[in-house]
Amino acid sequence: MSLSIRHGLVCLLAAGAGVSGVGAAAIHHRRDAIDHDAVVGFPETVPAGAVGELYEKFKPFLKVESGCVPFPAVDAQGNTNAGLNPSGTSTGDCDSSPGQIYVRGGTPANANATSSSSTTPSYAIMYSWYMPKDSPSTGLGHRHDWEGVVVWLGGDPSSPATAQLLGVAASGHGGYETRTDAPVDEDGTRTRPLIRYYNVFPVNHQTGFTSEVGGEQPMVAWESLPDAARRALQEADFGSGNVPFKDGNFEENLAKAALS
């Protein structure tokens, strides 16, 4: 074999290896929308320290009165939930799942942490659930639903033991219902809001308040998600359902959910 031919083969092999490497990287970063019941969620995962303690202290219960129960929206590899068509019954193929509750905290623009008795919020915690479809009745509704609540706290957020619950805002139809007397669990910490997921026919589902203690789901914090999962939630198209806590939406929704 001549030197020039041998050199050409080496170049081709090197180029092929480069293409293969790029392809492998692309495959590694590629994510898919997978079956609604195939997404493996995360175990309870929150930051250590004061922030994680706040998340746990004010974690809401959810009473699902109609429609789907919460499902995981994303897995560790960045695959997202493909959801369900709004066909069949409102609970069709979505009445059982370990679920997932997503949490993200932040400081509102008008924060006031100078006094433990302040009535001006010093910290906000957004808790969110994903449902594969929002179907008030057969054939009505849409694929994907994101709902959630914003818990408003007063006092020093670095001291979970003294943080005060000032109010709760529950999402529905692009807005929020706010209450400063939101019902909480009476048998536990008395800090955990009692939330329901419901609809008034023929309107789609929303969250609201209830006197009943609902279920719990494993909680994962935005900042505790692996990069692939966080990037997927930031970029994925959930159609009519918008991820309420992703960058951009989080800040806008805190403004919408402000206590009046």
pLDDT digits (tens, 9 = 90+) for 36-83: 999 999 999 999 999 999 999 999 999 999 999 999 999 999 999 999
End-to-end CA distance of the chain: 83
Q: According to the model, what pLDDT value does residue 14 have?
A: 38
Residues of the chain scoring pLDDT < 50? 1-29, 113-117
Q: According to the model, what pLDDT value does residue 88 have?
A: 86
Condensed to tens digits (0 to 9), the pLDDT of residues 160-189 reads 999 999 999 999 999 999 999 999 998 888
Torsion on CA atoms 204, 209, 210, 214, rounded to nearest 10 = 80
Integer Cα distance of 257 and 210 in angstroms? 18
Q: According to the model, what pLDDT value does residue 79 have?
A: 98
Number of DSSP helices (H) and strands (E) in the chain, helices first: 4, 11
Integer Cα distance of 35 and 77 in angstroms? 14
Could you tell me whether strands 194-198 and 61-64 are parallel, antiparallel, or unpaired per DSSP bridges?
parallel
Integer Cα distance of 167 and 73 in angstroms? 27
Q: According to the model, what pLDDT value does residue 41 have?
A: 98
Read off the pTM: 0.86
Measured CA to CA in angstroms, residue 188 lies from 37, 53, 160, 192 at distances of: 32, 15, 16, 8
Q: According to the model, what pLDDT value does residue 42 have?
A: 99
Integer Cα distance of 8 and 6 in angstroms? 5
Q: According to the model, what pLDDT value does residue 46 have?
A: 99
Integer Cα distance of 193 and 211 in angstroms? 9
